[in-house]
Amino acid sequence: MCGIIGYCGNGNAGEAVLQGLKALEYRGYDSSGIALADQDGVMSITRSVGKISALIEKTKNNLIPSSYGIGHTRWATHGAVNEVNTHPHTDQFGKVAVVHNGIIENFEELKENFPLEIFTSETDTEVIAHMIALEIANGENLLQAVQNTLQKTTGSFSILVISELNPHKMVAARKGNASGLVIGFAEDAISVVSDITALTNIVEKIIFLDANEYVEISSKETNFYNATGEEIDKKTLLLPFEHNVQNLGQYKHYMLKEINEQPETILDTIRGRYQSDTGSINLQELQLSSEQIRNINRVVFVGMGTSANATLVGRHYMERFAKIPSEVDNASEFRYRQPILDRNTLVISVTQSGETVDTLAAMDEAKRAGCMQITICNNPGTQTTRIADSTLYMRCGQEISVASTKTMTASMILMHALALYFGKIRGTLSPETEQHQINAALHLPVAVGQALELSNQVEEIANYYHSFDNFLFLGRGLGFPIAIEGALKLKEISYINAIGYAAGEMKHGPIALIDSQMPTVAIVPRDTVFEKMISNIQQIRARQGKVIALVSHGEKSLNNLADEIIELPEVDPLLAPIVTVIPLQLFAYHIAQKRGLDIDQPRNLAKTVTVE
Ligand code: F6R
């Protein structure tokens, strides 16, 4: 959560920091602030509650000429959303300015070393500014002051610091694994950002700061240090991907744009990987040998939110095609239940951002146990890609809307490809099934395009249902993960209470909720559990519940049973989740729009969740 940026370069630091904050806004948008230093190192600090546009407005025509500065966009963890809690935080004399992402766990204890009255905010960050100022007062330079301070902290976080007491320097540091930092080099400037996507187009080279490392930056140079203070050499990388132009085009919101991009992003995901002519799957990024793949005794999928919902589909594929016992774990629970892992366990993490702290923690746990690891990720060069043995990139381009859409379909496809690939090597997949699944996957861009054509019908349904305050989503088999995802999408952007359930579970509690004010969205493809879904719908109708049914192409038998029927395009039943999720993404979108909500930046959420 929270985005931080530092810039050292020519005399336009203010503009550069604000531009970087705009690009980082998806990480948090409760409030934002900026600290700029003039040619003598004297700092000017502006903070503002609300989105970055409020900070831009506040600093209009009064950004001081400055060659270096730091900025922050906040997703509140400690303390209310107000100006005093907004970063940058300073010591009591305003000589040290700090921006921070992550959590300092022992901040209360650290505060006891200072008189309480010097604290102006409720944050865990402010104490760091006081500690650094004290270190400098005791004769340390800025770098040593930051190092000494961080040695006394616990938690996992990153900071950027500037100080009038040691001008023309900026220090960036990471403690622990959460909260990544990347340093970008342009011809005449050096930037530090919490996310590679916030680097400007002119940046060509980058260096990732690893856990427990520090960097001291001046306008011309960077010096890197490890946890014990020794200077270290770091590997410089070329920027690994082209920046997506952040452009809404014909769309009103990024979410709608990203939903509509899916035929194209799916094509990018499958391109070169599904080979119809050879009847095989090509995953050349995979670093596992055939022997390692044959030795896998268990697959554990980890992820959070939408990515976790996708893994429930991935588990089906892995068991069906590769016949490997598979389980799904919510990444935030994984390490706390002391999972039984060994060298033949394969852990597959699914994450759009590659920076989700719970997913990283689960991967660390797996690493300690010596497991093989694959990450399915969208953002190149991010932390999960550096921990895993292999990365399967989603190739979706940047996802800007906080609600994940195109990356969910990409991750389900990659788990399908992986399961087919393993199945072939392990001898559990017939060539006919492989060829059939490859052809079916190659049809997905078309089927998803057809699903998008349902948008007008879905909008009409949303017109009627947007004022309901509670929804139930039901599915069975491969429909179950999509029911949970449909409910998640609806609650996160429309703030409606929506719950997703395995339909068989309905009679064991949720049915008590059903009345005319609690509509049910039922996923009812013509599959082996079709008749059972019909019984569930009858039970709902018997209690005056309204039913919106998503049915297979050409299915007419529910016409007199459901209130609304959404007929899905033709698709192989095993790939149905990738198509079924589309009208549910649209449903959430249209409902939130009718409710007049901030669709791309829903309240309380952030795109990258770097706190536990
Ligand atoms: C929901 C959503 C979140 C993310 C979750 C994991 O639309 O976007 O639930 O799926 O925060 O994020 P990643 O995939 O970046 O690990």
Catalytic site residue 2? yes
Catalytic site residue 532? no
CA-CA distance, 139 to 135, in Å (whole number)? 7
* pLDDT score of 241 more than 60: no
Q: Is the CB of 403 under 6 A from ligand 1?
A: yes
- Report residue 222 as tokens: 């960077």
Q: What is the pLDDT of residue 398?
A: 87
Q: Is the CB of 6 under 6 A from ligand 1?
A: no
What is the 306 CA–ligand 1 centroid distance (Å)?
5
Q: What is the pLDDT of residue 558?
A: 93
In this structure, which amino acid lies at residue 306?
T
If you average pLDDT over every residue of the chain, what do you get? 92
Pocket perturbation via mutation, ligand 1, pick of 378, 384, 581, 609 by most ligand atoms within 8 A of CB: 609
Q: What is the pLDDT of residue 256?
A: 96
* pLDDT score of 244 more than 50: no
Ligand 1 atom closest to the Cα of residue 304 is 6
Q: pLDDT tens for residues 129-167? A: 999 999 999 999 999 999 999 999 988 789 999 999 999
Q: What are the residues whose beta carbons fall under 8 Å from the beta carbon of 230, sequence distance 6 or more?
A: none
Q: pLDDT tens for residues 51-81? A: 999 999 999 988 999 999 999 999 877 788 9
Q: Is the CB of 48 under 6 A from ligand 1?
A: no
What is the 352 CA–ligand 1 centroid distance (Å)?
7
Q: What is the pLDDT of residue 239?
A: 65
Q: Is the CB of 304 under 6 A from ligand 1?
A: yes
Q: pLDDT tens for residues 6-25? A: 999 987 899 999 999 998 88
Ligand 1 atom closest to the Cα of residue 305 is 9
Q: Is the CB of 266 under 6 A from ligand 1?
A: no
* pLDDT score of 599 more than 80: yes
* pLDDT score of 252 more than 50: yes
Q: Choosing from 2, 8, 377, 396, which is the catalytic residue? A: 2
Q: Looking at the chain, how many residues does it have?
A: 612
Taking phi first (over 0 means left), then psi (-120 to 50 degrees means alpha), and beta for anything else, what does residue 139 get?
Answer: left
Pocket perturbation via mutation, ligand 1, pick of 196, 253, 306, 581 by most ligand atoms within 8 A of CB: 306
Q: Look up tokens 């991935």; give the residue.
A: 314
What is the 566 CA–ligand 1 centroid distance (Å)?
27
Q: Hey, whose CA ends up nearest to atom 7 of ligand 1?
A: 403
What is the 399 CA–ligand 1 centroid distance (Å)?
11
Q: Is the CB of 404 under 6 A from ligand 1?
A: yes
What is the 41 CA–ligand 1 centroid distance (Å)?
40
Q: What is the pLDDT of residue 211?
A: 83
Q: Is the CB of 353 under 6 A from ligand 1?
A: yes
Q: Is the CB of 401 under 6 A from ligand 1?
A: no
Is the pTM higher than 0.75? The answer reads yes
* pLDDT score of 247 more than 90: no
What is the 350 CA–ligand 1 centroid distance (Å)?
9
Q: Choosing from 22, 95, 546, 607, which is the catalytic residue? A: 607
- Calculate mean pLDDT across residues 191-217: 85
What is the 268 CA–ligand 1 centroid distance (Å)?
21
- Calculate mean pLDDT across residues 293-298: 98
Q: What are the residues whose beta carbons fall under 8 Å from the beta carbon of 239, sequence distance 6 or more?
A: 184, 196, 199, 203, 204, 205, 206
| CB-CB neighbours of 400 under 10 Å | 21
Judge residue 501's burial from the number of C-beta atoms within 10 Å of its C-beta, 0-12 exposed, 13-18 middle, 19 or more buried.
Answer: buried
Q: What is the pLDDT of residue 420?
A: 98
Strand-pairing partners, residue 502, are: 475
CA-CA distance, 316 to 434, in Å (whole number)? 16
- Calculate mean pLDDT across residues 205-229: 91
Q: pLDDT tens for residues 436-487? A: 999 999 999 889 999 999 999 999 999 999 999 999 999 999 999 999 999 9
What is the 422 CA–ligand 1 centroid distance (Å)?
26
- Calculate mean pLDDT across residues 337-352: 95
Q: Is the CB of 305 under 6 A from ligand 1?
A: yes
Q: What is the pLDDT of residue 200?
A: 65
Q: Hey, whose CA ends up nearest to atom 5 of ligand 1?
A: 305
In this structure, which amino acid lies at residue 582?
I
Q: With pLDDT > 90 as the criterion, what percentage of the chain qualifies?
A: 76
Q: pLDDT tens for residues 100-132? A: 998 788 999 999 999 999 999 999 999 999 999
Q: pLDDT tens for residues 487-541? A: 999 999 999 999 999 998 988 988 888 899 999 999 999 988 898 899 999 999 9
Q: Is the CB of 181 under 6 A from ligand 1?
A: no
Q: What is the pLDDT of residue 246?
A: 57
User: What are the backbone angles phi and psi of residue 33, rounded to the nearest 5°?
Assistant: -160, 165
Q: Is the CB of 492 under 6 A from ligand 1?
A: yes
CA-CA distance, 1 to 154, in Å (whole number)? 18
Judge residue 424's burial from the number of C-beta atoms within 10 Å of its C-beta, 0-12 exposed, 13-18 middle, 19 or more buried.
Answer: buried
What is the 543 CA–ligand 1 centroid distance (Å)?
35
Ligand 1 atom closest to the Cα of residue 403 is 7
